[in-house]
Amino acid sequence: MSINVFGIDIGADKLKVAVVEKGFRGYEIVRLTTRKISGMDDADVSETLASVIDELGFDNDKDQVAALYPARKLSSRTMDIPLVQRRKILEALPYEIESQSPFGVDDFVSDFISVETRDTGSKIFAVIALKTDFEKFLEVFFGAGLDPDLVIPEPLALTAVFMGEDAMESLSVIIDIGGDTTVMTALQGGKPVSFHVFTQGLRRICLEAGEEESQMEHAMERRWSPGSGGDIWEAPIKKFASALALESKRLIMSTGRQMEEARDVEIILCGGGGDSERLAKAIADETGEKVKRLTLPVKDATIDDAKISARKPPATIFAGAIGAALRIAEREKYEPVNLRTGGFEKKRRFAGDRNQAIVAGVFLAVALLISFSSFIIEGYRLGNRYESLKNEIRAEFKKALPEVKRIVAESQQLKNALAQLDEKSRALGPALLDRDVFLGRLLDISRASPKDIRLDVEELVYEWGQMTISGRTESFEKVEMLKNNIAKLPWAKSVVVDKAKAAPAAGAISFRLEIKTI
């Protein structure tokens, strides 16, 4: 049974949809469709998108959607991190980004791909999108009745298309030319290391050629054909190619490579004008580098020409949409990337297909059986663990309160002992403002610690108006839980995670909490 993967690219002026049919023998690009959306608000774009996918026969029960997130709304970081496992990197990534950006961990969504893995950690290429922008982006799809399975950052979608070409160990630059902006992505060994959004596109050529705005789209279609524009196009195209060449060199230098080391740089054109021999030659003349036009379909794919409408505008404008679809159709080839994180995850649902529902039922029955067996085993294990912890607590109690000869209820007896110490502290009088609150607050913090946390306190500083706790625990989530619990205490004015970093020891997070007190 085949399914269709819809790659959807909502640009500033055009909606582009690529349909990839995935079957047992591979995949096939079967439809490429575009609609003009310039000047539309989000509601109109949603309506247009709903109409397009309906025309393309979208089946909400079995088809999948890969949405392209525009580069103009992305930020990126290439960073080194002392971790290797993807799960742990994802856990630490928001905090690493927070330390290198003006955003808090609750302000953005992020994901990454590994550029290089070493014994000491990983070099990663991370992409960041503000949650306010991301929420508006998803609302356009929800308004069209779609719930994207993946949201792929534009530079990584373009990488998926290029990976169909022969991978190069040298530096490559993909130039995706749009109407008003151009996205330039630098790849090394087939992996992105940086990208740049250049605020010029094909529309600039038309304006400088003296075309009326009403004739702009027609002019952009015919300007690449040999002999169609005469000398009127020569200067604007050369000027645009010169600007692209300059931006390409800046991008190459931003990767840390010296220009003399980048002589074997290859530039790949796609987008509007991506099939233009005239533009490719102009850029090659300006840069002195090898420039080629992206070939579609990608390697090993076939196109059913009968299903594809007229190839105007050129098929190269669908590079991003096709790349997004391939991230699902050939997911086994790519490192998983999805910006739907941080509360934006897609909710799982059963497909409408009856066979899938039967398979799901079998899996559910097996899962229930395994869960029941695990419950019995876990109960036995926890019983033993309880007795062991009880003995450990009693041993520590005897060390702390050796004067107590008869132990009946450790918790209550410890509270009584602390109460006695509190009474003694009051005897010190005005020197401690009539009452030393430290012991009470220390007890409050102990009670506020999550029950299942492994907490190693390395330093506790108690000063007038504030406390500082430094230590280690298992994960960033445990640090966040401890912070939130302490913040609920009546004497806590504010609690800030001053530091949270992956510690050299495996499975440990080093942290420091600053607590402002009332």
Shared domain for 141 and 12, answered yes or no, is yes
Beta strand 75-81 with 121-130 is: antiparallel
Task: Specify the number of domains making up the chain.
Answer: 3
- Please check whether residues 139 and 222 belong to one and the same domain: no
Of the candidates 309, 325, 349, which is a domain's last residue? Answer: 349
Closest CA to 157 of 187, 122, 189, 188: 187
- 502, 88 Cβ separation under 8 angstroms: yes
- Write down the H helix ranges in 225-353: 234-254, 277-287, 319-329
In a domain, 429, yes or no: no
What's the helix, strand, coil split of the chain in %, to 5? 45, 25, 30
Q: Are residues 153 and 243 in the same domain?
A: no
Q: Which amino acid is at 189?
A: G
Token pair of 86, please?
């993807």
DSSP-derived 3-state class of residue 55: helix
Neighbour count for residue 69 (Cβ, 10 Å): 29
Q: Which CATH number fits the domain that encloses residue 272?
A: 3.30.420.40
Instruction: Transcribe 452-513 into DSSP letters.
Output: T---EEEEEEEETTEEEEEEEES-HHHHHHHHHHHHTSTTEEEEEEEEEEE-SSTT-EEEEE
Name the residue range of residue 57's domain: 1-165+296-349
Angle at 79 between CA 73 and CA 85, to 5 degrees: 105
Residues 229 and 310 in one domain: no
Same domain flag for 261 and 157: no
Domain presence at residue 430: no
**Residue type for 276, please?**
S
Query: Do 469 and 459 reside in the same domain of the chain?
Result: yes
pTM for this entry: 0.62
Q: Report yes or no on 506 lying in a domain.
A: yes
Contact predicate 298/326, CB 8 Å: yes
Q: Name 112's bridge partners.
A: 126
Predicted pLDDT at 225:
45
- H or E stretch at 6: strand 3-10
Q: How many residues does the chain have?
A: 518
- Which residues have a Cβ under 8 Å from the Cβ of 513 and sit 6 or more positions away? 468, 469, 470, 479, 482, 483, 486, 495, 496, 497, 498
Contact 10, 34 (CB under 8 A): no
Q: Is 153 inside any structural domain?
A: yes
Residue 187's φ and ψ, nearest 5 degrees, are -125, 140
Q: Can you tell me the distance from the alpha carbon of 394 to that of 400, in angstroms, rounded to the nearest whole number?
A: 10
pLDDT tens by residue, the chain, 518 residues: 678 999 999 988 889 999 998 877 777 888 889 998 988 999 999 999 999 999 999 998 889 999 999 999 999 988 999 999 999 999 999 999 998 888 898 999 999 999 888 888 999 999 999 999 999 999 999 999 999 999 999 998 888 877 544 555 568 889 998 888 899 998 887 788 889 998 888 777 777 777 654 554 554 445 444 444 455 667 777 888 888 888 888 887 777 554 445 457 888 888 876 667 778 888 888 888 888 887 765 444 433 333 444 445 567 888 899 999 988 888 878 888 999 987 888 876 544 455 566 777 788 888 888 888 888 888 888 888 888 887 888 787 777 777 777 776 767 777 777 777 776 665 544 445 455 678 888 888 888 888 778 888 888 888 878 899 998 888 888 888 889 999 999 999 999 988 888 877 667 888 899 999 88
Phi, psi of 418 (to 5 degrees): -65, -35
The CATH number covering residue 149 comes to 3.30.420.380
Claim to verify: residue 38 and residue 159 sit in the same structural domain: yes
What values do phi and psi take at 469, rounded to 5?
Answer: -120, 125
Amino acid symbol at 14: K
Query: Does residue 128 share a domain with residue 107?
Result: yes
Flag whether 371 is in a domain: no
Listed residues 251, 279, 294: the one ending a domain: 294
Does the residue 472 lie in any domain? yes
Residue pair 326/49 in contact by the 8 Å Cβ criterion: no
Per the listing, tokens 């086994």 go with: 332
The domain spanning residue 458 has which CATH number? 3.30.1360.100
Instruction: Supply the DSSP symbol for 189.
Output: T
Cα Rg of the chain, angstroms: 30
Q: How far is CA 452 from CA 371, 414, 448, 473, 478, in A?
A: 21, 21, 12, 11, 9
| Judgement on whether residues 195 and 281 belong to the same structural domain of the protein | yes
DSSP state of 75: E
Q: Which two tokens stand for residue 316?
A: 């190269």
Asked if 32 and 123 sit in the same domain, the reply is yes
Helix (H) or strand (E) holding 383: helix 354-400
> Of 286, 317, 349, which marks where a domain is finished?
349
85 and 217 share one domain? no
Shared-domain flag, residues 225 and 152: no
Asked if the structure places residue 395 within a domain, the reply is no
Alpha-carbon gap, residue 102 to 429, rounded angstroms: 47
Query: What is the strand order of the sheet 150-153 is part of?
Result: 26-36, 14-23, 3-10, 64-69, 150-153
Residue 151 lies in a domain: yes
